[in-house]
Each structure stands twice: as structure tokens, then as C-alpha cells.
Amino acid sequence: MNKMVLLLGLLLVFGFQSSEGNTPPEVTNVLAAQQAHTGLVDITYDLNDIESDSLFITLLYSLDGGASFENECITVWGDVGSGVPTGPGRTATWDAATDVPDYQSEDFVIRVYADDSGGSAGSWIDDFTSFNEAQYMLFGTDENCAIWDQASQAFRLVYDQIWVGGRIVFDEMLPSTSFVASFDFKVAGTHNSDGLIFVWTLVPDSPIGIGGSLDWNVDAQGFGVEIDFYGGGNDPTYSDHVSLGRDGINNIEAWAYLPGGDYSLDDGNWHSLQVMNTSGNLVVFIDDVQALSHQILDYNMPEAYFRISATTGTFSGNVWIDNVNVSGSR
């Protein structure tokens, strides 16, 4: 059982690190409440900036009553990270029991940092209601892969055909020391396709892969979060799972079974993936449920190309993505 007593009446808030000539942002009306019988903390705050900048929000916590803030809230979601809009009623949830397990104290203090200095420059945001092909590198095994589906206003990576692959790459390196990435995906067809993968890499144009490679080949330097739909079995090779690979699909650093089990995502419905990376502290959510948490050792990637791929093999299926939002900081 996780034991946690949080002193939530003592919350330090301020705006900081504005670019020259810029008015610092303001964080006000901060409230926090621990959800009963859990280690989750709900935080609300108002965010103001007269330049109406898109702000980078960081949550820190103190274990010594606010004397020092050396710890960042890692397992956190909501209005945090880059691209948080100004306005009232910003909300975030911190899984304190995961970040500080079995810790009991009355000296917890939370600090909300707001940064408009440009440290979160660069983002990939697309809802595919229209399509600007010039901002992408597209790779497909045939003309029916990696295409904008105008009718559904989504992007189709692969179609209901065996042994095909498709990839979309944002044609600009983005900050990747820390980032928050999210997108929706839908899988439907004759049977489950092999899967899809979200990658941040130094090599955007490696040869397209198919089948179990999930288009995450050994020559693609970087990291990939894979969702495998090829269900059935008792190990991660043959059962639906989520994993983190380094420099290719054959070098898996961490994996876990899907929260909903085999065949829970290839059901023809829209689902969501969120990847949160804070200097190598990685947390993955599927449909707002934490699916994987891992510390990447020796993480050092200040910028990268971001890409999303899907493949089929012996079985086929359509895979669409939508509402892509990737933004980070160096």
C-alpha cells in the first residue's frame, strides 16, 4: 500500500525565464487535492501572459517544506509540458505514488513553473482536416500507404493488405530533451495488423520496413514506442504489448502487456497514445491509462525527427492516425 500525506496548503507559484523584453507569465489561484485513498494529486491553476504566449509548464515538488525544489513531477498529465495555452482553469494530475512510492511526509510542497522564453520552440500539430504535404516526408510500400484520407479527415498509414508499410515524418527536427507527444489511432480490417510505432530519431529516411519490423529498422538511430497488435501468446513476441526500443525493434529496453489485453485496440474504434519524456524519464499512456514507465539511461538527444509508422504482415488491417500533437524543449 502506498502511504502519502501531502501538505497541499503550501504551494509556491511564479512565472520565470522570459525572453528579453517579454513580460513574465503569471500563475495564480493554484489549488491541489489528493484523490481519496490514492496517490494521485489533482492540480488546478490560472495562467496569464500579456503576450498570450504558448507556455511551457513544469511541476516540481519539495520534500523539505519548500527549502529546495530539486525534484520534477515525472508521472504527470494534463496542462503540463509545452504548448499550454494561457487562461483560467488549467488542470493537471500528478501520480505522486509512482514518483515517490511509500513516502509519508507533511512537508510536501508543489511548485508550478511557467516559461515563455522559447525553450519549447518547435511543434508538430495536425488534425488532418486539410493536408500540407510539404511539411512531411512520406514513405510507403505502395501508393495506398502513407496517404491523407480526405473523406475521414485522418491520415492512413496502411490499408487492408498484407505485407505493406507506411510512415509519416515531420520534416523538421524538433527539441527532444523533454517532450509531450499524443495522437489518436484507429485499427480496423480483416484481422489485426502488426502494429504501429512512434519514433524520435536522427535518421528520418531509413528504408521502409514491413511486418514485424514495424518499420523500426536497425539503422534508425533513436527511440521508438511500439504498440503491437499481433495478439495471441504468453510472451511479448506473440502477445499484444507496448514497448520501448532503442536503435531498432530488436533492442527492447522495456515492455508491458496492453492494459486492455489482446485485441483490445484493433477494434475499429479510435484510441489515444500519449508519450511523455522528461530527460529520459519516459511514461506512456494508452487511452489515458498508464501502460509503461521507464528510465532511459544515458539519454542525450537534444533534437530529433519525429515519425509514426504502421505495418502489416501475414494479417492485414487499416491503420489511421489523427490529432497529432508533439512539442518539446531542449
SS3 89: strand
Encode pLDDT of 179-222 as tens digits: 889 999 999 876 667 889 999 999 999 899 998 888 987 667 89
Share of the chain above pLDDT 90, in %: 41
SS3 139: strand
Confidence of residue 12 (pLDDT cuts 50, 70, 90): very low
Neighbours of 47 (CB within 10 A): 22
Structural domain boundaries in the chain:
11-116, 123-329
Task: Give the pLDDT of residue 84.
Answer: 85
Torsion region of 247: left, alpha or beta (phi above 0 gives left; psi -120 to 50 gives alpha): left
May I ask the CATH class of domain 123-329? mainly beta
SS (H, E, C) 7-41: CCCCEEEEEEEECCCCCCCEEEEEEEEECCCCCEE
- Among residues 266, 274, 264, the alpha carbon closest in space to that of 324 is found at 274
For cell 505522486, name the residue: 96
138 has pLDDT over 90: yes
Confidence of residue 8 (pLDDT cuts 50, 70, 90): very low
Q: Which amino acid, one-letter code, is at 276? A: M
Mean pLDDT, the chain, integer = 83
Alpha carbons 277 and 283: distance in angstroms, whole number? 7
For cell 520534500, name the residue: 63
Encode pLDDT of 154-191 as tens digits: 999 999 999 999 999 999 999 888 888 999 999 987 66
Average pLDDT over residues 276-290: 90
Encode pLDDT of 52-93 as tens digits: 666 778 888 887 777 777 677 878 888 887 778 889 999 999
Question: Could you name the CATH architecture of 11-116?
Answer: Sandwich (2.60)
HSE at residue 195, side-chain half, CA atoms within 13 A, is 29
2 has pLDDT over 60: no
